[in-house]
Amino acid sequence: MISYFGDYANLCFEAFGDRVKHWITFSDPRTMAEKGYETGRHAPGLQLPGTGLYKAAHHIIKAHAQAWHSYNRTWRGKQRGLVGISLNCDWGEPVDMSSPKDIEAAERYLQFCLGWFANPIYAGDYPQVMKDRIGKKSAEQGLDMSRLPVFSLQEKSYIKGTSDFLGLGHFTTRYITERKYPSRQGPSYQNDRDLVELVDPNWPDPGSKWLYSVPWGFRRLLHFAQTQYGNPPIYVTENGASQILHCMQLCDEWRIQYLKGYINEMLKEPLLSHMQMVTEIVVPTVCTLCVLISAVLLMLLLRSQS
């Protein structure tokens, strides 16, 4: 499958590379692996808890690297484009900032979410906490080897550095506290992490049971990505909110406030100095908001005159 994906990517580079200058090999591969090979809620609908998602992710990372190398070797000199990957992650905030266990659990949450894919691409291997945790639990479950696949030395070298930018998708935040799951419960992604995700009931609820407006978490995730992966160029590739509509006409104030809050967090120092992220992502978004607000005002003006 890795070679097939490489062929597909190469075909796309050849056909569209004269016009497309920013390529994303995979969008939200964590959800693809977890929902497709752990819970079975997404295609291909396989329920292989604690094993399938790690194998799927392993192949995705290697396929991404092959696509990047293909572009770098054959097309970059002609087309002058960039190739990256888009990773989705919520921010994990410790429930108790004075508790070392909660702080470690929040860090573990981020490494099992963002670091799972970003660490191999930027550092050459899975986060150490993933290797240690999954390896230990695999041994306790009577397995001869870890359920987390291993990269060879050659693969580590091949994968490391295969991203010209980091695409980052973010929507909300979770409070994280530690909870030990006995190995006898069997393998699963949840049990491997040994944590619980919580929400603050006072957070604004946009209507989706998983999505709460927590702008400060966005800033903390951006800072984490910058410091953890060597300050790469960051493109915010996914962000937004649902809304419970209480009117039959255009009433999008909630979504405007959500986007305004998240954009403001991105604009604060020291992230403001990261101009590529600001100019490429914030300016188009702000322009879109201006157009939306202008359209609403125009509609109200026309209605008042009729």
Q: What pLDDT is recorded for position 210?
A: 83
Range of the domain at 17: 2-275
In a domain, 231, yes or no: yes
Poorest-pLDDT segment among 29-33, 241-245, 264-268: 241-245
Distance CA 189, CA 33 (A): 11
Active-site residue flag, 238: yes
pLDDT exceeds 80 at position 16: yes
DSSP output for 217-257: HHHHHHHHHHHHTTS--EEEEE--------SSS---HHHHH
pTM: 0.86
In a domain, 135, yes or no: yes
Between 75 and 287, whose confidence is greater?
Answer: 75
Return the half-sphere exposure (C-beta side, CA atoms, 13 A cut-off) of residue 18. 2
pLDDT exceeds 60 at position 282: no
In a domain, 236, yes or no: yes
Q: Which residues contact 205 (CB under 8 A, 6 or more apart)?
A: 212
User: Structural domain tally of the chain?
Assistant: 1
Structure tokens at 142: 């009577």
- The catalytically annotated residue of 238, 265, 269, 280 is 238
Rounded mean pLDDT of the chain? Answer: 89
pLDDT exceeds 70 at position 278: no
Amino acid at 251: C
In a domain, 295, yes or no: no
Per-residue confidence at 305, pLDDT binned at 50, 70, 90?
A: low
Q: Which residues contact 304 (CB under 8 A, 6 or more apart)?
A: none
pLDDT exceeds 90 at position 267: no
For residues 237-247, average pLDDT:
79
Q: Which residues contact 59 (CB under 8 A, 6 or more apart)?
A: 1, 2
Reported as a single tens digit per residue, the pLDDT across 128-175 is 999 999 999 999 999 999 999 999 999 999 999 999 999 999 999 999
In a domain, 298, yes or no: no
Q: Which residues contact 119 (CB under 8 A, 6 or more apart)?
A: 111, 125, 126, 127
For residues 258-274, average pLDDT:
79
CB 67 within 8 A of CB 9: yes
In a domain, 67, yes or no: yes
**CATH code where residue 54 lies:** 3.20.20.80
DSSP classification of residue 183: G
Q: What pLDDT is recorded for position 82?
A: 98
In a domain, 296, yes or no: no
